[in-house]
């Protein structure tokens, strides 16, 4: 077995997962977080081929892509039939499935895991919906602490033109319409995303986010991320 | 969370290993309560239609880990609590549940999930008025189960724990582990133990006496939600 650099070791946030030997995980876990429409997936799409061209094997993953629960969540959201606690736990199921069946095996094999969102978006959604913060954080005690969390930060006013230029426009869920924050999608979007941003901001210190100014164009953000990730992977 | 709720209705739940006779007892209780004029709503473990499909997919493809198994059942209960348990309790009805959070605590910890984590997960659950635990020796329950049904299923038999390659032997070992977990929870959660080796009638009489004591303030004439409840 290849030796793991002794200055690197994974930890769980809380109780952790049964039957996982953290010492076996040789890869790196990198998270891109930030609100809807901030440009996370664009950056992930650029970073993956760059990392691969530098010889790193990369697994990219994102919310509701689990083989187990992804489909069920999409159906639930399409019919708007789940309450806030149920939806939060369904997301946690999706997350745990991807963590155990995708991310951890990839880390064991020495991959760079590049994830579009992680537990922070899910925690923020739950808190904005009025759920108990300490409860939801304890639920995510199964999660691994990432090597880095890059928080792409922008104000709500910066997000609006980006969301409007997407083919779907304001989305029901991205606007928090399930919690009735405004009369129409626009009002609700502004209020919901404002609340989400304030929760994200409150997590910067707690979870050690590296804040990236996402009001800049795509290129400088990408170079900034390349620089930071390059530094992180120097010892691989 | 965990008993912070105050509802006019009452929640009675039954627990016990497979073959303890708990479902029979709950069904008899339900008929009696209905006859007495109470509004009764019944909720069964792992029955949320939305989550069920995902659970079925996970079981069929044997892709569930102890953690996702646990989280899916939590999602199921959360959906039923938000949709089917809290509204009737708010309306002053009686809710009966076949299995509750203690089933999850017993099964999930037998699968190696952290006891503290799974107890934390279920903090949203409503505290039952009474949680009955039907205690039965393993030999008795196994004889009831194994003679009555055709084939054991993979997760039901705890085959994912790798206890034995023989499905019947795995089931017996798994049931034994679950029974041990129930015994540990009797004091922790104040489970009301019913001796399930006695006759069905004797057990039912005891259950009814205990339930009746809790019904002093429960209206016999339903106030609202009537159509919704009589499904």
Chain A interface includes B56 (CB < 8 A): no
In a domain, A190, yes or no: no
- Please give the residue that has the higher pLDDT: either A233 or B149: A233
Rounded distance, CA B130 to CA B107, Å? 21
Domain that residue A74 falls in: 25-151+208-232
Choose the closest CB to A72 out of B54, B63, B65.
B54
Does any CB of chain A come closer than 8 Å to the CB of residue B60? no
Q: What are the chain B neighbours of A92 within 8 Å (beta carbons)?
A: 71, 74-75
Q: For A148, list phi and psi in degrees, rounded to 5.
A: -155, 145
Q: What is the pTM of this model?
A: 0.85
User: A97 vs B65: CB contact, 8 Å cut-off?
Assistant: yes
Find where tokens 């969301």 sit. A163
Residue B114: name the closest of A109, A84, A96 by CA: A96
| The dihedral sign for the CA sequence A58, A63, A68, A74 | negative
Residue B149's pLDDT band, with cuts at 50, 70 and 90, is low
Closest CA to A150 of A209, A198, A201: A209
Query: Which homologous superfamily is B10-223 in?
Result: P-loop containing nucleotide triphosphate hydrolases (3.40.50.300)
pLDDT for the residue A120: 97
Do B58 and A76 make contact, defined as CB atoms within 8 angstroms? no
B82 contacts in A (CB within 8 Å)?
82-86
Query: Does residue A187 lie within any of the structural domains?
Result: no
pLDDT score at A102: 93
Residue B9 reports pLDDT greater than 60? yes
pLDDT of residue A145 exceeding 50, the answer is yes
Of A82, A100, A132, the CB nearest to B1: A132
DSSP B130-171: EEEEEE--HHHHHHHHHHH-S---TTTTTGGGTS-SSHHHHH
Tell if the CB–CB gap between A86 and B63 is shorter than 8 Å: no
pLDDT at A114: 97
Indicate the number of domains in chain A: 1
- pLDDT tens figures, B30-44: 999 999 999 999 998
| Token pair recorded at residue B222 | 């339903």
What's the gap in Å between the CA of B55 and the closest CA on chain A? Answer: 8
Search chain B and give the residue with CA nearest A78: B50
Per-residue confidence (pLDDT) for residue A210, from 0 to 100: 98
Contact A31, A146 (CB under 8 A): yes
Mean pLDDT of A20-27: 94
> What is the rounded CA–CA span in Å between residue B53 and residue B50?
6
Backbone phi and psi for residue A81, each to the nearest 5 degrees, phi listed first: -110, 0
pLDDT at A223: 97
| Percent of chain B surpassing pLDDT 90 | 69
The domain segmentation of chain B, as residue ranges, is: 10-223
> Is residue A120 domain-resident?
yes
Answer whether residue A181 is part of any domain.
Answer: no
Q: Is the pLDDT of residue B54 over 90?
A: no
Each residue of B109-119: pLDDT tens digit? 999 999 999 99
C-alpha A142/C-alpha A97 separation (Å) is 11
Show residues of chain A in contact with B68, CB under 8 Å: 68-69, 93, 96-97, 100
Tell me if A110 is assigned to some domain.
Answer: yes
- Mean pLDDT over the full length of chain B: 90
How many other β-carbons are positioned within 10 Å of the β-carbon of residue B39?
24
Q: Does residue A147 sit within a domain?
A: yes
In this structure, what CATH number is given to the domain that contains residue A81?
3.40.50.300
Within a domain: A38:
yes
Q: What local confidence, expressed as pLDDT, does residue B226 receive?
A: 52
Instruction: State the Cα–Cα distance between residues B68 and A1, nearest whole angstrom.
Output: 29
Q: Do B53 and A135 touch (CB under 8 A)?
A: no
Q: What is the pLDDT of residues A52-87, one digit of tens each?
A: 999 999 999 887 777 777 777 777 776 667 788 999
CB-CB neighbors (< 8 A) of B117 in chain A: 14-15, 138, 141-142
> What would the mean pLDDT of B105-112 be, rounded to a whole number?
96
Report the distance separating Cα A48 and Cα B160, nearest Å.
35
Mean pLDDT, residues B12-34: 95
Of A162, A164, A154, the C-alpha closest to A186 is A164
Q: What is the ipTM of this complex?
A: 0.79
């Amino acid at each position: 077995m290849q030796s793991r650099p002794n200055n690197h070791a994974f930890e769980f946030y809380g109780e952790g997962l049964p039957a996982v030997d953290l010492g076996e995980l040789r890869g790196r876990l990198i998270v891109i977080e930030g609100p809807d429409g901030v440009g996370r997936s664009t950056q992930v799409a650029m970073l993956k081929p760059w990392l691969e061209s530098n010889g790193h094997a990369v697994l990219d993953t994102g919310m509701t892509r689990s083989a187990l629960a992804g489909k069920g969540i999409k159906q639930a959201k399409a019919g708007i039939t789940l309450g806030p606690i149920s939806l939060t736990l369904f997301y946690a199921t999706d997350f745990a499935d991807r963590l155990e069946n995708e991310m951890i095996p990839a880390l064991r094999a020495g991959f760079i895991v590049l994830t579009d969102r992680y537990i922070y978006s899910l925690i923020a959604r739950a808190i904005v919906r009025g759920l108990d913060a300490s409860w939801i954080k304890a639920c995510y005690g199964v999660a691994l602490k990432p090597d880095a969390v890059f928080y792409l930060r922008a104000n709500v006013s910066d997000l609006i033109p980006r969301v409007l230029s997407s083919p779907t426009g304001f989305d029901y869920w991205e606007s928090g319409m399930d919690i009735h924050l405004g009369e129409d999608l626009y009002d609700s979007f502004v209020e919901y995303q404002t609340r989400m941003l304030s929760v994200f901001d409150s997590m910067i210190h707690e979870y050690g986010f590296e804040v990236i100014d996402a009001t800049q164009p795509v290129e400088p953000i990408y170079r900034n991320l390349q620089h930071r990730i390059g530094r992180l992977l120097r010892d691989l | 969370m965990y008993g912070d709720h105050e509802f006019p209705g009452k929640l009675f739940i039954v627990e016990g290993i497979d073959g303890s006779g708990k479902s029979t007892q709950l069904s008899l209780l339900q008929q009696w309560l209905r006859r007495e004029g109470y509004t009764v709503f019944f909720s069964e473990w792992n029955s949320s239609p939305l989550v069920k499909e995902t659970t079925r997919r996970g079981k069929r493809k044997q892709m569930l880990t102890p953690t996702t198994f646990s989280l899916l059942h939590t999602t199921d209960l959360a959906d039923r609590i938000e949709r089917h348990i809290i509204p009737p309790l708010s309306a002053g009805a009686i809710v009966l549940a076949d299995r509750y959070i203690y089933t999850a605590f017993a099964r999930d910890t037998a699968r190696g999930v952290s006891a503290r984590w799974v107890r934390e997960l279920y903090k949203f659950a409503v505290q039952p008025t009474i949680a009955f635990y039907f205690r039965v020796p393993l030999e008795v329950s196994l004889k009831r189960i194994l003679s009555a049904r055709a084939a054991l299923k993979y997760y039901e038999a705890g085959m994912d724990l790798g206890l034995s390659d023989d499905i019947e032997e795995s089931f017996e070992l798994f049931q034994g582990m679950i029974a041990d977990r129930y015994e540990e929870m009797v004091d922790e959660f104040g489970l009301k133990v019913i001796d399930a080796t006695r006759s069905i009638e004797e057990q039912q009489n005891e259950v009814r006496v205990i339930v009746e004591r809790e019904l002093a303030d429960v209206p016999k004439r339903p106030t609202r939600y009537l159509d919704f409840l009589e499904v």
